[in-house]
Structure 1
Amino acid sequence: MTQRVDLSTVMDRLSIDAVITGYAVAVDDGEWNDYQALFTPDGRADYRTAGGIEGPAAEVAQWLSQTMLLFPVRQHLIVNRRLDLQDLGGYPGDGAQVRADYMNPMRLTGPDGDDSGKGGDDASPTAPNFVSGGRYAFELLRTENGWRIHGVTVHEKWRSLSGPLATG
């Protein structure tokens, strides 16, 4: 491998990492246009193992925009990223796969519909009452606009409820 190929591979890895981070930030901040812009035009998302839907990114973004209204406080933590770039005989190709673990603490809207998250047994506005974890499987493609998500599948492995959620 030449230095030019090595540099290109490092740049690809940094660009892909920025896409994965952008995905988490878009969901956490409710920026659904930004979410959709991270996908290829035919990109798809599959949230079925987490109780969601599967479909085109635009359709899933619409579903998320409504579902996430329940959780005014949310924070994706995407860690342990394993990135595999397509290898074309020692040169990077235009495809990549990322497997990454996630933990997602969220707080439901308060009992009176406020966004403070206060209420229930825990009066702290930042304490989560719903936490899930699992693994994402991302498939990415290099496009004329940079790396984009062609598909993402959520593999939820666990969830934990606290406060009023856990009791009924």
Structure 2
Amino acid sequence: MTVTDAPAVPGRELADRWAITELTAEFGLRVDTHEWDRLVQLLAPTVVIDYSRLHGKDPITTDPAGVVGTWRGVLENLKVTQHLITGQVIELSGDTAKCTANLVAAHHLPNDSGAPDWTLGGRYEFALERAEDRWLITAVVLFPLWATGNRTIMQLAGSRNTTR
């Protein structure tokens, strides 16, 4: 399809696509900067987190505080993380949407048991709903495609009882 063949996009649809792209990019940024209060503002009152393809555990349905509580205990004990979320492809359906995006997530923790880095590549599939004048994430599903490095650093970080 060429630019001249592309269908016209109404203003609201274009605004929705921009807002969802921004929201999903901000999701990764707030995780990396540990801005948990800002992260919870991106999530619906009930959210599904499905990392079952990564670790074999069942998806969880929780509230934004539950998401933060689960992630904070691991991610704040890593030296640094960087979640790059890009290439968002968005399907709009009224007040709901699906966004599939590429992900590269780098994790760093110097340690005595191996390499300090673990990097995961894959896709996120976000489900979203419109809430008044903004979009909120209702589900995050991770589809891992590749990984490199020392995955054990995630367990090491999770077993620490302090956050940095």
TM (normalized to structure 2)?
0.76
CA distance, structure 1, for counterparts of residue 103 and residue 83 of structure 2: 7
Q: Is 2:28 the counterpart of 1:21?
A: no
CA distance, structure 1, for counterparts of residue 24 and residue 107 of structure 2: 19
**1:104 corresponds to which letter in structure 2?**
A
Rg larger in structure = 1
Q: Is 2:103 the counterpart of 1:97?
A: no
Equivalent position to 1:67, from 74, 83, 104: 74
Gaps of 5+ in 1: 87-92, 113-119, 122-127
CA distance, structure 1, for counterparts of residue 36 and residue 69 of structure 2: 8
2:25/2:86 contact within 8 Å kept = no
**1:32 corresponds to which letter in structure 2?**
W
**RMSD (Å), alpha carbons:** 2.6
1:48/1:54 contact within 8 Å kept = no
Equivalent position to 1:45, from 30, 45, 49: 49
**1:161 corresponds to which letter in structure 2?**
G
**Identity across aligned pairs (percent)?**
28
The count of aligned residue pairs is 143
Q: Is 2:41 the counterpart of 1:6?
A: no
CA distance, structure 2, for counterparts of residue 135 and residue 44 of structure 1: 16
CA distance, structure 1, for counterparts of residue 40 and residue 103 of structure 2: 20
**2:105 corresponds to which letter in structure 1?**
N
Equivalent position to 1:55, from 61, 64, 69: 61
1:71 partner SS: coil
Pick closer, same or farther for the CA change 1:145–1:7 going to 2, 3 Å. Answer: closer
Alignment-derived partner of residue 32 in structure 1:
36
TM (normalized to structure 1)?
0.74
Q: Residue 10 of structure 1: CA displacement?
A: 0.8
1:71/1:107 contact within 8 Å kept = yes
